[in-house]
Amino acid sequence: MKDSASRVPDAMTRNAQWAARSRKAVWHPCTQMKHHERTPPLAIARAFGAWLYDYEGGRYLDAVGSWWVNLFGHANPRINAALAAQLCDLEHVMLAGFTHASVVELSERLAALAPRGLSHAFYGSDGASATEIALKMSFHYWRQRGLSHKDRYLRLEGGYHGETVGALSVTDVALFREAYAPLLREHPVLASPAVHDAIDSHAATQATNEAIVALERFLGEQADTTAALIIEPLVQGARGMAMYASRYLAAARELTKRHHVHLIADEIMTGFGRTGTMFACEQADIAPDLMCLSKGITGGYLPLSCVLATDEVFDAFYDDDVTRGFLHSHSYTGNALACRAALVVLDIFEQDDVIAANRERAARWREMAGRVAAHPRVHGFRQCGMIVAFEVDGTDAGWTSRFATEALRREIVLRPIGNSVYFMPPYTIADDEFAFLVERTIETIDAT
C-alpha cells in the first residue's frame, strides 16, 4: 500500500505537502478538521527563542507560548543540554516500586517553593490528568474520613480545568461540554469574580463582591455535601484571560477552611511565574489543600503534571491496608526526562532571578502595549504579570479565526478567545520583539 505522502502532488510547496499529509493522518486537537480545507495547519520545521519557522523561510512570533507552556524560548540551550545528559542516564522507569533522582529532587524543590504545607507530589502527564487526580484525591480523602456524602465539587462560571470526562464536569465552557452532557455529573456553578476588564475596575470590584457572597451563601447551606471548590487563581485563561483580584482567593481560602471543604488551586496555567509570582496563590498568601501544576513546569518541552498535596491529605491514605491507598496511576508518571526538564526550569528561575527580572519586564510590556490599549477598537485592557489581554470591539461571527489568520500573515501567532486577544509569549522575548508584536497586532486589528 502506498503511504499518503506519495499521493501528494510533487509541485506542492513543502509547507503544503506537510499540511496535506497532516490533514489525512493527524486528527488535530480542538479543531473542526473540515476547516483545514480553507486554512491548512501550518507546518513548523524548527523553532528558536520566541520564533517558529516553517519549511520555506516563513517565521512566526509565538505570542501565545505554544498554548501557554513555553517559558524560556524554544530550543533553549540549557534545557537541551540537561535533557541530553538525562538521556544518557535514564529515560524512564515506572514509578510504582521504583524511584529516581530527578523525580525525588523535583518533588523536594516543588515542596520548598510551593505555598506552605504542600509537601507531597503526585505526578500525571497533561493538565487534565492533574485535575482528575486532585478531584479523586479530594473525594477519597473525605471517604477515608467516613464522609463519602461529600461528593460534589464547586466550580466557577467560565472555569476551565481540562477535557477528560472528570475534568470536563468541573469545566464551564458550553462549547466543550454540550456534546458530552449525558456523561457529565452536574456540579454546582458559582458566580465568578473574573472580568474582561482591568482588575481595579468597578466591574471587577462588583464581580468579586458578588462572587464572595455567592460562595459564602452556598457553603453556609451545602458544605456538608461538597468535597472541594476548584478554581483558577487570579486568571481564568480559557474564558479569555478574565482576571480578578487576590482578595477573592483569600476569601475562598477562609470560607472553604471554615466549612471543611477542600480548596483545589488549578495553577496549571498560572503557575511558574505567569501571574508575576511563582504561583498565583502567593499573591493572597494562601495555601490550598491541593495544587495542580503542568504547562510551564517543563518550560514547554515535555508533558508533565503534578498535584501537590498537604500532609493532612497524604496522611489520610497512609495505612497498612492497600485499598486505603491512592490507587491511581499513569504509565509515564514521573518520567525522568520530563522531571529533568522541570529541574532545569527551576534552576533557570533561581540562577537568573526570573521573578524579579519579570517584574521589570512586565512593566516594560505594559508601557509598550499602551498603543494597543489606546486603540479606538480596544477596551478592557488588563495585565496580570506576564499575561496581557484586551477586548476588540466591532467584531462579527467569523472574526476570531480571521484575526488568527491575518495575524499569521503578519508573522505573529495570536489565537483570540471570542473577542479577547491576549499576549503570553516566552518570558525571554526581547523588547524589540515585543514591540514588533504590538505593532503587528495593531495592524491585524485594523485589517479585521
Binding site for ligand PLP (CB under 6 A): 126-128, 131, 160-162, 232, 237-238, 266, 268-269, 294
How far is the C-alpha of 446 from the C-alpha of 228, rounded, in Å? 45
Which CB atom, from 159 or from 440, has the smaller least distance to ligand PLP? Answer: 159
Strand partners, 291: 265, 308
67 in Cβ contact with 79 (< 8 Å): no
The CB-of-81 to ligand PLP minimum distance in angstroms stands at 26
Amino acid identity at 248: Y
C-alpha cell at 236: 481564568
Q: Which is nearer to ligand PLP, 167 or 215 (CB)?
A: 167
Contact 256, 219 (CB under 8 A): yes
Quote the least distance from Cβ 198 to ligand PLP, whole Å. 21
As a whole number of angstroms, the distance between CA 225 and CA 149 comes to 6
The least CB distance from residue 387 to ligand PLP, in Å, is 12
Name residues whose C-beta falls within 8 Å of residue 158's C-beta, 6 or more positions apart in sequence: 172, 173, 192, 194, 236, 238, 239, 242
Identity of the residue, 162 or 299, whose beta carbon is nearer to ligand PLP in the bound complex? 162
Q: Which residues pair with 305 in a beta bridge?
A: 124
Core vs surface per residue 26-47: b (16+ CB within 10 A) or e: eeeeeeeeeebeeeebbbbeeb
As measured in angstroms, the least distance from the Cβ of 219 to ligand PLP is: 22
Rank residues 159 and 223 by Cβ distance to ligand PLP and give the closer one.
Answer: 159
CB of 353 to ligand PLP, least distance (A): 26
| d(C-alpha 204, C-alpha 236), whole Å | 13
Tell me how far, at minimum, the Cβ of 406 lies from ligand PLP, in Å.
24
Q: Which is nearer to ligand PLP, 195 or 269 (CB)?
A: 269
* Closest to ligand PLP by CB, 152 or 295: 295
